[in-house]
């Protein structure tokens, strides 16, 4: 674990302490600093949701308003202690986050944005109608008392600032822990490739719900602080204006940094005051900020913080070429294999899939034994991909069953299949492009060691030695240890291919489903991948779809031939090679031999 | 007097008619939003601002010339032009960027448009009187309460405009290319058709739909710079109900949304929009692709 000085934390603490003594002489007065901190606190959660997880919510005002009004109401009407009231407001926001998150987390992209916005508007209406008795409707709730604790009262600007700054600092520390936790790593991967996170055995929807709820909690507490700070809880906390302002500040500051919203908030609030009062731009300051916003989105998408980081952080030098062994045997010799195999580990019974009138697969009875390497071939359009996707749990069959160790697992989904021990590598790489090789392998390793979901928000990623060992072993297995900290988008194609297989291996599968592992490779990449597969076969069951017959026939224990969605022939490579039916079906009756026969 | 659930039948009739009027208007706005998304894959958060641009251009023309019939083409031209400029200057660079970036940039463009309107006209609402030919009310021979003529006319105008959009999209060669582009833009490009010019036209047409709705609705709801936000949100609900990217979905969704709001307000006006959002949440649970959407896109 990194026990170096926590520079970011110390720097932030120093800034928070010095700001109210220095900045009022230069620019901002203390109340402005307090307001910036409240928005920055609101933004801590939002950057986890939007910057880290990639979920663009346009309805964060719901939680800001709900937390704010619950806190304000309890403090004014019920005379609750400030900490209890803030806690109650946060809990209310969390509960709302769970409910709204349940409706929204299954949607992505524009749907997520539209639905969160609609929920925001819904609550904005409810605030003015149903709950008007508690929220004061259009009037809001005036008279929120300043925080008071054990005889201390925040009755000066500075004491109010201090109260808020303590919350901000603690909130920041917690957010840092969350980002560095296993959950935080998984959220980052969700931003890059949600489908693959699911396929590596992580319950994506629960993690997304978790990110949504964390953001809601921060928003709720920020709303509570706002009411105290202003002595007044305004109804416009619930409006789209609020969600929009948060979004703008976050983008200006930089969404992928926890402090981005704080920096953006400072820029926004300071510019607003300066343009509005200093320059007398009564309303047109928003026009100027709108233009600035569009320019930032277009040219500095990482915001101010991202831009500064890029200035000081040069990208690593171009990498050396794949250092692989090229002088290696071209064709594999299968290791001595048992003549017969044990009971089937993965099998299908009368499996079928129809798309409307078209039957992609029909009545497929397939069984692969433990420790067997099975090749799956067939002409284009034979239904190999559909069949493979049903095996992996990615697609629901329309008839028949899939059994794993004799247990019916039909329709359990790809996440459960991976947790069972069936992992698939994809024909087209499905990697987390913005993460390093190590961070990529972390995702399946976490699913293997922690199960499909665990809420270890505050646990360090380095706390579990099993995780580190798992990643280390997989790195060695796919020969990428020397590239562990390279971002994926800087890898050579062959290395990406190996990482693709590594993502499967890291989940420690019993059965590996490999979809064209050799596709698109240069000759040397092909050789090194074949070597990798040879290393992997001991102690593992594999099903391989591959068009490279020469490699496949030298490698597989048995081969299944799919034609027109059905199994045509199944047998040892030699039997399949000799089968006239296969030659006819596969080669359309043209007088050709299957390639491996020539080599034999 | 006949009552249903204690509500006079005549009132129900009147509200159902109101729902149709609002629904047709929402259908027009949402049709613009949905064809832009369907063809370009961009969710245009500046759509509400384009409504405002149309409303204010129409208002200005109306105030200068006194002719509402001139105000309508002026609104159409202004919003079409605004759409063209937005697409050429900004949006076209965003076709290949992620959804989130498109949402952010159109959100920013919306702010610029709205704030430009505010800077020119101020923040107050602009009274737009009902034109001469919309004065009075009629029972149309079957309504128990007379219904304002202008609202009846907006139903007809909205329907005519939707029909015009339908004809352009479904009965012309341009429309064929647009719909082909919705299916597979890359393929259309390969066929030697300039997809990017088509995109420009679609974006302009979609913007124009919002602008037309803006001027037509102005005598009923006086425009302010901020009125567009509400219509943006409502059109989101409409296209989620109808199916994102579907033109018929926008029309049906608009009418359904209008009826939900007006009929709910018979019982309690403060719940009319809340009920609409509740229905949307229900649809998302039970049929996320909406009435006419393609499954899987949601």
Q: Which of A31-40, B68-77, B129-138, B157-166 has the lowest mean pLDDT?
A: B129-138
Q: Where are the alpha helices (DSSP H) in A105-203?
A: 109-128, 132-135, 157-180, 182-199
Domain for residue B199, yes or no?
yes
- ∠ CA A558-A561-A565, nearest 5°, is 140
State whether residue B116 sits within 8 Å of chain A by CB: yes
Q: Which of B92, B227, B274 to mutate to test the interface with A (most CBs of A within 10 A)?
A: B274
Provide the residue range defining the domain that includes B61.
3-122+147-286
Domain for residue B242, yes or no?
yes
The answer on pLDDT for A64 being more than 50 is: yes
> What number is the average pLDDT over the span A72-88?
94
Taking each helix axis from N to C end, the angle separating A240-253 and A285-299, rounded to the nearest 10 degrees, works out to: 50
**Among candidates B43, B115, B298 on the partner chain, residue whose Cβ is nearest the Cβ of A113:** B43
Domain count for chain B, please give it.
1
- ∠ CA B201-B206-B210, nearest 5°, is 145
Q: How many secondary structure helices (H) and strands (E) does chain B include?
A: 11, 4
The residue of chain A nearest to residue B116, with distances taken between CA atoms, is A287
pLDDT computed for residue A314 by the predictor: 60
Share of residues in chain B with pLDDT > 90 (%): 60
Which is more confident, A359 or A593? A359
Which of these, A552, A445, A426, lies nearest to A496 by C-alpha position? A426
Which of these, A310, A391, A399, lies nearest to A352 by C-alpha position? A399
Domain for residue B255, yes or no?
yes
pLDDT computed for residue A585 by the predictor: 75
> What number is the average pLDDT over the span A447-472?
90
The torsion angle over the Cα atoms of residues B217, B218, B221 and B223, rounded to 10 degrees, is 130
Q: Which of A102-116, A200-214, B96-110 has the lowest mean pLDDT?
A: A102-116
CB atoms under 10 Å from CB of A146, counted, come to 16
Q: Do B115 and A113 touch (CB under 8 A)?
A: no
Tell me the DSSP string of B147-190.
EEHHHHHHHHHHHHHHHHHHHHHHHSHHHHHHHHHHH-HHHHHH
Both tokens assigned to A360:
């992609």
Distance, CA of B49 to CA of B41 (rounded, Å): 19
pLDDT computed for residue A541 by the predictor: 93
Going along chain A from its start, the domains and CATH numbers come out as 7-312 (no CATH), 343-421+511-600 (3.40.50.300), 430-508 (no CATH)
Which is more confident, A311 or A453? A453
The answer on pLDDT for A333 being more than 70 is: no
* Among B residues 33-52, those touching chain A with beta carbons less than 8 Å apart: 37, 43
Distance, CA of A245 to CA of A38 (rounded, Å): 13
Domain for residue B138, yes or no?
no
State the average pLDDT for chain A.
87
The residue assigned the tokens 């050396």 is: A320
Both tokens assigned to B223:
């425009």
Q: What is the pLDDT of residues A108-162, one digit of tens each?
A: 778 888 889 889 988 998 888 888 889 988 899 999 999 988 888 888 999 999 9
**pLDDT confidence of B73, banded at 50, 70, 90?**
very high
pLDDT computed for residue A425 by the predictor: 92
State whether residue B278 sits within 8 Å of chain A by CB: yes
Which of these, A560, A556, A558, lies nearest to A586 by C-alpha position? A560
State the average pLDDT for chain B.
89
Which one-letter DSSP state was computed for residue B2?
A: -
Collapsing DSSP states into helix, strand and coil, what is residue A570?
Answer: strand
User: Nearest CA of chain B to the CA of A109: how many Å?
Assistant: 6
The answer on pLDDT for A235 being more than 50 is: yes
Distance, CA of B261 to CA of B275 (rounded, Å): 7
- Cβ neighbourhood burial of B56 (10 Å; 0-12, 13-18, 19+): buried
State whether residue A137 sits within 8 Å of chain B by CB: no
**Among candidates A110, A114, A286 on the partner chain, residue whose Cβ is nearest the Cβ of B115:** A286
Distance, CA of B234 to CA of B231 (rounded, Å): 5
State whether residue B295 sits within 8 Å of chain A by CB: no
Share of residues in chain A with pLDDT > 70 (%): 92
Domain for residue B197, yes or no?
yes
Distance, CA of B207 to CA of B158 (rounded, Å): 15
**pLDDT confidence of A324, banded at 50, 70, 90?**
very low
**pLDDT confidence of B211, banded at 50, 70, 90?**
very high
Asked whether A168 and A265 are in contact (CB, 8 A), the reply is: no
Q: What is the pLDDT of residues B252-284, one digit of tens each?
A: 999 999 999 999 998 888 888 889 988 988 888
State whether residue B136 sits within 8 Å of chain A by CB: no
Sequence-ordered list of residues with C-beta below 8 angstroms from that of A430, at least 6 positions apart, any chain: A193, A195, A196, A199, A500, A503
Both tokens assigned to A9:
């934390």
User: Nearest CA of chain B to the CA of A55: how many Å?
Assistant: 8
Which is more confident, A301 or A415? A415
Contacts of A247 in chain B (CB under 8 A): 104, 107
Collapsing DSSP states into helix, strand and coil, what is residue B262?
Answer: helix
Asked whether A214 and A55 are in contact (CB, 8 A), the reply is: no
Beta bridge partners of A561: A377, A569
Q: How many residues does chain A have?
A: 600
The answer on pLDDT for A325 being more than 70 is: no
Both tokens assigned to A390:
């049903």
State whether residue A253 sits within 8 Å of chain B by CB: no
pLDDT computed for residue A345 by the predictor: 93
Distance, CA of A120 to CA of A42 (rounded, Å): 16
Residue A478 Cα distances to A22, A200, A503, angstroms = 54, 17, 10
- Which segments of A222-329 are extended strands (E)? 232-233
**pLDDT confidence of B295, banded at 50, 70, 90?**
low
Q: What are phi and psi of B244, to 5 degrees?
A: -65, 130
Type and span of the H or E element at A363: strand A358-369
Contacts of A291 in chain B (CB under 8 A): 112
Domain for residue B109, yes or no?
yes
The answer on pLDDT for A592 being more than 60 is: no
**Among candidates B119, B237, B240 on the partner chain, residue whose Cβ is nearest the Cβ of A284:** B119
Q: How many residues does chain B have?
A: 298
Type and span of the H or E element at A352: strand A344-355
Asked whether A124 and A66 are in contact (CB, 8 A), the reply is: no
pLDDT computed for residue A318 by the predictor: 45
State whether residue A110 sits within 8 Å of chain B by CB: yes
pLDDT computed for residue A453 by the predictor: 94
State whether residue B60 sits within 8 Å of chain A by CB: no
Collapsing DSSP states into helix, strand and coil, what is residue A202?
Answer: coil
Residue A432 Cα distances to A134, A195, A229, angstroms = 47, 10, 42
Q: Do B101 and A284 touch (CB under 8 A)?
A: no
The answer on pLDDT for A582 being more than 70 is: yes
pLDDT computed for residue B175 by the predictor: 82
Buried residues in B259-292 as b, exposed as e (16+ CB within 10 A): bbbbbbbbeeeebbbbbbbebbbebbeeebbbbb
ipTM: 0.89
Q: What is the pLDDT of residues A538-576, one digit of tens each?
A: 888 999 998 888 888 888 999 999 988 899 989 999 888
Domain for residue B269, yes or no?
yes
Q: Do A129 and B274 touch (CB under 8 A)?
A: yes
Asked whether A524 and A356 are in contact (CB, 8 A), the reply is: no
Q: What is the pLDDT of residues A83-105, one digit of tens each?
A: 999 999 999 999 999 999 998 88
Q: Do A119 and B37 touch (CB under 8 A)?
A: no
Both tokens assigned to A133:
């008795």
Asked whether A494 and A525 are in contact (CB, 8 A), the reply is: yes
pLDDT computed for residue B191 by the predictor: 77
The answer on pLDDT for A330 being more than 50 is: no
Domain for residue B127, yes or no?
no
Residue B240 Cα distances to A249, A457, B95, angstroms = 28, 34, 22
Contacts of B244 in chain A (CB under 8 A): 110-111
Label residue A143 left, alpha or beta by phi (over 0 means left) and psi (-120 to 50 means alpha): left
> What number is the average pLDDT over the span B179-186?
73
Collapsing DSSP states into helix, strand and coil, what is residue A424?
Answer: strand
Q: What are phi and psi of A350, to 5 degrees?
A: 50, 40
pLDDT computed for residue A588 by the predictor: 61
- ∠ CA B85-B90-B92, nearest 5°, is 95
Contacts of B98 in chain A (CB under 8 A): 109
Q: Do B108 and A297 touch (CB under 8 A)?
A: yes
């Amino acid at each position: 674990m990194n026990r170096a000085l926590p520079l970011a934390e110390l720097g932030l603490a120093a800034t928070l302490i010095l700001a109210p003594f220095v900045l009022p002489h230069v620019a901002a007065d203390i109340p402005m600093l307090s307001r910036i901190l409240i928005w920055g606190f609101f933004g801590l959660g939002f950057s986890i949701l939007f910057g880290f997880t990639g979920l663009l919510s346009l309805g964060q005002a719901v939680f800001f308003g709900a937390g704010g009004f619950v806190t304000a109401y309890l403090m004014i009407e019920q005379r609750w202690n400030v900490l209890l009231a803030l806690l109650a407001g946060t809990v209310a926001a969390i509960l709302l986050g769970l409910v709204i998150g349940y409706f929204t987390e299954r949607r992505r992209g524009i749907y997520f944005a539209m639905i969160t916005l609609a929920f925001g508007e819904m609550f904005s209406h409810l605030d003015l109608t149903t709950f008007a008795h508690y929220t004061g409707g259009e009037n809001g709730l005036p008279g929120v008392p300043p925080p008071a604790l054990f005889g201390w009262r925040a009755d000066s600007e500075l004491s109010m600032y201090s109260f808020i700054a303590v919350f901000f600092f603690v909130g920041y520390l917690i957010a840092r822990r969350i980002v560095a936790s296993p959950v935080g790593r998984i959220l980052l991967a969700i931003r890059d490739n949600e489908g693959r996170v699911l396929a590596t055995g992580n319950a994506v929807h629960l993690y997304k719900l978790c990110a949504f709820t964390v953001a809601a909690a921060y928003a709720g507490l920020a709303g509570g602080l706002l009411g105290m700070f202003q002595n007044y809880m305004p109804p416009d906390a619930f409006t789209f204006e609020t969600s929009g302002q948060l979004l703008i500040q976050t983008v200006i500051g930089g969404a992928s940094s926890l402090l981005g919203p704080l920096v953006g908030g400072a820029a926004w609030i300071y510019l607003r005051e300066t343009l509005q009062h200093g320059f007398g731009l009564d309303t047109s300051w928003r026009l100027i900020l709108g233009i600035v916003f569009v320019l930032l989105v277009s040219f500095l998408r990482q915001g101010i913080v991202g831009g500064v980081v890029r200035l000081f952080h040069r990208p690593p030098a171009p990498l050396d070429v794949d250092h692989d062994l090229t002088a290696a045997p071209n064709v594999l010799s299968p290791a001595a294999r048992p003549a017969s195999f044990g009971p089937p580990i993965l099998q299908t019974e009368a499996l079928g899939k129809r798309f409307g009138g078209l039957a992609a697969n029909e009545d497929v009875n397939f069984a692969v034994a433990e420790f067997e390497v099975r090749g799956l071939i067939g002409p284009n359009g034979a239904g190999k991909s559909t069949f493979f996707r049903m095996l992996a749990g990615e697609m629901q069959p329309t008839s028949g069953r899939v059994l794993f160790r004799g247990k019916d697992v039909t329709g359990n989904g790809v996440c459960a299949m991976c947790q069972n021990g069936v992992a698939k590598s994809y024909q087209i790489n499905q990697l987390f492009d913005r993460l390093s090789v190590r961070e990529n392998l972390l995702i399946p390793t976490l699913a293997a060691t922690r199960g499909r979901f665990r809420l270890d928000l505050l646990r360090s990623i380095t706390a579990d030695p099993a995780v580190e060992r798992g990643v280390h072993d997989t790195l060695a297995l796919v020969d990428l240890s020397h590239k562990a900290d390279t971002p994926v988008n800087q890898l050579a194609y062959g290395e990406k291919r190996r990482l693709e297989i590594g993502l499967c291996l890291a989940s420690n599968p019993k059965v590996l489903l490999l979809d064209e592992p050799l596709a698109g490779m240069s000759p040397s990449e092909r050789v090194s991948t074949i070597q990798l597969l040879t290393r992997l076969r001991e102690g593992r069951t594999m099903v391989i779809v591959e068009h490279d017959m020469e490699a496949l026939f030298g490698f597989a224990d048995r081969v299944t031939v799919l034609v027109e969605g059905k199994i045509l022939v199944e047998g040892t490579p030699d039997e399949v090679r000799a089968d006239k039916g296969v030659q006819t079906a596969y080669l359309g009756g043209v007088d050709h031999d299957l390639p491996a026969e020539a080599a034999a | 007097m006949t009552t249903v659930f204690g509500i006079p039948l005549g009132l129900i009739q009147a509200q159902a008619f109101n729902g149709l009027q609002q629904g047709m208007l929402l259908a027009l706005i949402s049709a613009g939003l949905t064809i832009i998304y369907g063809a370009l894959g961009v969710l245009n958060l500046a759509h509400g601002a384009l409504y405002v641009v149309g409303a204010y251009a129409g208002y200005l023309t109306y105030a200068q010339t006194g002719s509402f019939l001139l105000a309508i083409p002026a609104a159409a031209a202004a919003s079409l032009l605004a759409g063209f400029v937005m697409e050429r200057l900004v949006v076209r660079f965003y076709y290949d960027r992620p959804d989130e970036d498109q949402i952010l940039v159109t959100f920013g463009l919306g702010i610029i448009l709205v704030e430009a309107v505010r800077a020119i006209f101020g923040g107050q609402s602009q009274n737009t009187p009902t034109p001469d030919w919309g004065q009075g009310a009629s029972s149309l021979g079957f309504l128990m309460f007379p219904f304002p003529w202008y609202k009846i006319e907006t139903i007809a105008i909205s329907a005519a405009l939707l029909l015009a959009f339908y004809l352009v999209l479904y009965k012309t060669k341009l429309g064929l290319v647009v719909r082909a582009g919705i299916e597979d833009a890359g393929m259309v490009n390969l066929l030697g058709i300039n997809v990017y010019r088509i995109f420009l036209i679609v974006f302009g047409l979609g913007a124009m739909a919002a602008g037309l709705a803006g001027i037509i609705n102005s005598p009923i709801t006086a425009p302010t710079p901020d009125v567009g936000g509400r219509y943006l949100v409502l059109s989101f609900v409409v296209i989620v109900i109808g199916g994102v990217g579907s033109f018929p979905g926008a029309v049906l969704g608009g009418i359904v949304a209008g009826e939900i709001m007006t009929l709910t307000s018979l019982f309690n006006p403060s719940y009319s929009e809340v009920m609409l959002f509740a229905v949307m949440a229900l649809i998302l649970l039970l049929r996320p692709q909406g009435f006419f959407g393609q499954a899987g896109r949601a």
